[in-house]
Amino acid sequence: MKPGLALLRISRFPTHHLYISSPLKRRVGVRMRWLLALVLLSLFALANLASVDARNAVNINQHSYIFINGYMDDTKIYQTDSGFSGQKLVTGTRGSGMVSRRQTVDVWSDNVTGESEIYFNEWGVFQYRPYTPGATQSDLKNALCAKNYDVGSVFSESYSEIQQLVKDTSIYQDDNVSLYLLDSYIKGTARVAARSVNKTGSKRTENMVMSGLYVGEAKIQEEIQIGDNPPLVLPCV
């Protein structure tokens, strides 16, 4: 028999064990190691691809409720892409009176496939009443600002000329999601603002810009989720 040739023998035992000579064992072992390395590399590649897809996707969910007896001026702008591309939506309310309003917004886009969508719903009761702010000597103020550079989001709230303020604000931020929960009752002046920016390569898109001024007596609820996989979602009542 020539050196290096594999010898394959069937044993004489009833169990018919398969005996493989040493050269063939080494070849099989090398091939198995290469196969295992290839499988591991494929898994790492799929994981990296999934993370890239997650970063290239825009996902914004917002629920808000406002009840105010006084004066308000708020604007909300949404878009899935910059320029003359994608979906756009602008909404706002300005003036004096009594307003009860609820809004739901969902913004989604995939920067890789180009698919995008916006869902918007507004329910409201608007009644005009002239409003003149009364003189106040209050110098009481409260403010908060939170930023998430990994997600590209910022949220701020501020209160001034406070006669009465009851607030409950919760914020959660990590590498993948920003969650802002606001529930406030104010007699005075309130300002609420938020922004979401998505950057892919050299392209920069402001997917959400909102700002609101509320003067008088107001109940303000905002829930804003930017990113994926939030730890909790509490819809406004």
What is the pTM assigned to this prediction? 0.74
25 and 129 fall within a common domain: no
Evaluate whether residue 237 is within a structural domain. Answer: no
Query: Domain tally for the chain?
Result: 2
Residue-number span of the structural domain to which 221 is assigned: 58-227
89 and 102 fall within a common domain: yes
Evaluate whether residue 232 is within a structural domain. Answer: no
Q: How far apart are CA 190 and CA 207, in angstroms?
A: 24
Q: 41 phi and psi, to 5 degrees?
A: -65, -40
12 and 114 fall within a common domain: no
Contacts of 39 (CB under 8 A, 6+ apart): none
Evaluate whether residue 1 is within a structural domain. Answer: no
Angle at 108 between CA 105 and CA 112, to 5 degrees: 170
Q: What does the pLDDT profile of the chain (237 residues) look like in tens digits? A: 444 444 444 444 454 544 445 555 555 555 666 656 555 555 554 444 444 344 567 899 999 999 999 999 999 999 999 889 899 999 999 999 999 999 999 999 887 888 999 999 999 999 999 998 877 789 999 999 999 999 999 999 999 999 999 999 999 999 999 999 999 999 999 999 999 998 776 778 899 999 999 999 999 999 999 987 555 544 444
40 and 82 fall within a common domain: no
Q: How far apart are CA 195 and CA 30, in angstroms?
A: 55
70 and 43 fall within a common domain: no
Beta bridge partner(s), residue 90: 77
CB 145 within 8 A of CB 154: yes
Contacts of 104 (CB under 8 A, 6+ apart): 62, 63, 119, 120, 121
Evaluate whether residue 34 is within a structural domain. Answer: yes
122 and 213 fall within a common domain: yes
Evaluate whether residue 2 is within a structural domain. Answer: no
For tokens 């918007």, the residue is 120
207 and 100 fall within a common domain: yes
Evaluate whether residue 70 is within a structural domain. Answer: yes
**Tokens linked to 81:** 């892409």
45 and 88 fall within a common domain: no
141 and 220 fall within a common domain: yes
